[in-house]
A and B are shown apart, each in its own frame.
Chain A
Amino acid sequence: MATTAKVPPRGTLAARADLKASPYLFVSPYFLLFALFGLFPLGFTLWVSLYNWKLAGDKTYVGLHNYRFLLGDDGFWGAVTNTLGMFVMATVPQLVLALLLANALNRRMRGRLALRMGVLLPMVTSVVAVAIVFSQLFSHQYGMINWLLSLLGVDRIDWTAGKLPSWTAISAMVDWRWTGYNAIIYLAAMQTIPSDLYEAAALDGASPRRQFWHITVPQLKPVIVFTVFISTMGGLMLFAEPMMFGDGRLDGGSRGDFQTISLYIVQAFRERNNYGMAAAAAWLLFLLIMIVALVNYLLVNRVRGTK
């Protein structure tokens, strides 16, 4: 009992059992649920993915056939391209804007709490609602975005046609929802940066802009890594926004321009009733998440290393 040396030894068996067993009892609900609803489905997905498994439950072992099919399927690669494209289009501006917004919020002024709550408001809205409202704002005929563009003399854009327009519209939804959240997280971290760093820089005549890029941003690195990871997960699992943007369908537009991997999985699963194929796609998505997370990590580390 070296670790509890400060506690006087207690004789009763019950007390000792309590000390030994309680920690495990206290963490066991989580790990039990995690095993049932996290680990088991992940492993079982791998198993299902090796079968030609149709709705009725009749299944035949096909080895890696589903994977081979997916890796040769233009539709799947299209979904991968769309997912990665939207991920980059949404995440990069989002985090840069969030940094600038946090920096702006980190000022002496009146109504700071109201401003913070205001930029956080989008996060509090429901995801399908946002997707529906934005789809209307981006609609071809009567959407407000096209109306504003027409005031500037720009022709109406059919936002659902083609990759670039549809990715832009969907990225806008994602960014609207999450920029404020990331800004609040950056703001919190900014307030822990020791002020003598800024005082020293100010004495050396560094402008606020220089101080931002040379002190604030490097100091925020751990938090930036955190937000990059969170955004990666959200970006690669993107589902509700592209689904609602495509009128609630799973095909991501008539030519699949904005079908994400998650949409592809659910389409294989629900519309084609091909469980094996959907499971294989889910595992490939899992691998993709791991790879992108690793690349993120290395990139962020590198950027920091060159400073």
Chain B
Amino acid sequence: MNRHAPTRLWSASPLTRLALLVALVLSVWPLYWMVVIASRDTSAASQVPPPFLPGGNLGTNVRRALADESSHLLTGLGNSIVVSGTVTLAVVVISSLAGFAFARLRFAGRTGLLVVVLLTMMVPLQQIGIIPLYIAMVQLNWVNTMQAVILPFLVNGFGIFLMRQYTVQAVPNELIEAARMDGASTWRIYLSVVLPAVRPGIAVLALLTFMQNWNEFLWPLVVLQPDNPTVQVAIRGLSQSNHGQDYSMIFTGTLLSIVPLVVVFAAFGRQIVGGLMEGAVKA
């Protein structure tokens, strides 16, 4: 083997290309199938052989799904945008502040506290502590409110970890010392030096946090009531309600539930891939 190219990458063999094509088809197929069923009439899901091309019924199905009274899909979509948006904003602020402190400020107990963050990153304590959380929400009269599904998810160790790595990489110590010489306070340094420098990291964190919260299911299911759901709870309701086998309508609901994610992914997919890969290497 005589390779002089600076890159060590082999070019892909035909077999590799075929395998990748299969992987790609498998990755896209269930989503394509969702579109096929969502755009046809109710009988489509029980046809043998199954239909393979989209139909022309999408508009009707969308109107039917949104108008369905028992699942409150439209409310669910709106709630999820509010909840995921709020959590994302708060997590970005909390994580960039703490990430900056762990990366570039010196204080007693820094290492110990960072270890705590790393440990909390591993276990979803909110899900283990679901019973007391629910009891607390009942006490506070917060059942069926948005703060009940927002607050527990502000605890996000991964965000701090990610922002710390970005800050270490993007904000050299000299920059901070120079700002201190100019008499800047720590808060001012955060605003004027750190935040602009870690913007790419913030973008990645924001996208991942939004997607993750869009998908939260167990806790909203427990603490919200069917009239005020998040999107995941609403499409579960759609599949539960009297149209048990009306797959074109159910699939339309699932399709609507992923539209915001697909839009985000289409717009920022490159950054998400890049951010995930960068985060992985640093981990």
Could you say which residues of chain A place their CB within 8 Å of the CB of B265? 117, 120-121, 124
**Most B CB atoms within 10 A — which of A142, A191, A275?**
A142
Which residue of B has the minimal Cβ distance to A223?
Answer: B280
Option from B107, B129, B236, B273 in Cβ contact (under 8 Å) with A41: B129
CB of B115 closer than 8 Å to a CB of A: no
Q: How far is the CA of A130 from the CA of B257 in the complex (A)?
A: 10
Interface string of A185-216 (1 = CB under 8 A from B): 11111011001001100100000100000000
Q: Which of A30, A199, A226 contacts B160 (CB 8 A)?
A: A30
Number of interchain pairs (Cβ within 8 Å):
298
B138 to chain A, nearest CB (A): 9
Residues of A within 8 A of B214 (CB): 126
Residues of A within 8 A of B9 (CB): 106-108
Asked whether any CB of chain A lies closer than 8 Å to the CB of B191, the reply is no
Contact stretch, chosen from A32-40, A72-80, A82-90, A162-170: A32-40
Cβ A127 vs Cβ B101 within 8 A: no
Q: Which of A121, A130, A198 has the most CB of B within 10 A?
A: A121
Is A13 an interface residue when CB atoms closer than 8 A count as contact? Answer: no
Q: Mark B24-35, 1 if CB is under 8 A from A, else 0.
A: 101110110110
Residue A266 at the chain B interface, CB threshold 8 Å: yes
Shortest Cβ gap from B136 to chain A (Å): 8
Stretch at the interface among A251-259, A278-286, A298-306: A278-286
Q: Does B262 reach chain A (CB closer than 8 Å)? A: yes
CA A34 to CA B20, docked complex, whole Å? 42
A sample of 13 cross-chain residue pairs with beta-carbon separation below 8 angstroms, ordered by A number, consists of: A30-B98, A30-B117, A33-B151, A38-B155, A41-B136, A104-B16, A124-B261, A126-B215, A129-B254, A132-B239, A184-B276, A240-B217, A293-B122
Contacts of A136 in B (CB 8 A): 37, 45, 247, 251
Using CB atoms, name the residue of chain A closest to B19. Answer: A104
A154 in the interface (beta carbon within 8 A): no
Question: Chain B residues with Cβ under 8 A from A185's Cβ?
Answer: 276-277, 280
Q: Determine whether the beta carbon of B33 is less than 8 Å from that of A121.
A: no
Q: Mark B56-68, 1 if CB is under 8 A from A, else 0.
A: 0000000000000
Are B120 and A237 in contact (CB-based, < 8 A)? no
Point out residues on A near B: beta carbons under 8 Å: 3-4, 6-8, 10, 15, 18-20, 22-24, 26-27, 29-31, 33-34, 36-42, 44-45, 48, 100-101, 104-109, 113, 115-130, 132-134, 136-137, 141-142, 144, 147, 176, 180-181, 184-189, 191-192, 195, 198-199, 202, 208, 222-223, 226, 229, 233, 237, 239-240, 243-244, 247-248, 262, 265-266, 269-270, 275, 278-279, 282-283, 285-286, 289, 293
Output the nearest chain A residue to B232 by Cβ-Cβ distance. A128
A41 to B124, CA, bound (A): 12
Contact B98 A29, beta carbon cutoff 8 Å: yes
Which residue on A lies nearest to B134, using beta carbons?
A: A269
Picked from B11, B105, B129, the residue with its CB within 8 Å of the CB of A22 is B105
Q: Does B113 contact A (CB under 8 A)?
A: yes
B141 close to chain A: CB less than 8 A: no
Q: Report yes or no: B101 in contact with A121, Cβ–Cβ below 8 A.
A: no
Assembled-state Cα–Cα distance A13/B18 (Å) = 68
User: With A44-B132, A127-B232, A278-B131 known to touch, is A133 a contact of B218 (CB < 8 Å)?
Assistant: no
B131 touches A126 (CB 8 A): no
Give the complex CA separation of A269 and B23 in angstroms.
Answer: 40
Report whether A269 and B131 are in contact in the complex, using a CB–CB cutoff of 8 Å: yes
* Residue ID in chain B nearest A185 by CB atoms: B280
Asked if B28 and A202 sit within 8 Å, CB to CB, the answer is no
Given contacts A42-B128, A248-B239, is CB(A223)–CB(B261) below 8 Å?
no
Decide if B17 is an interface residue (CB 8 Å cutoff).
yes
Q: In this complex, what residue of B is CB-closest to A197?
A: B8
**A186 vs B30: C-alpha distance in the bound complex, in angstroms?**
24
- Complex CA–CA separation, A118 to B270 (angstroms): 11
B127 at the interface (CB under 8 A from A): yes
Contact A265 B101 (CB under 8 A): no
B277:A188 contact, CB within 8 angstroms: yes
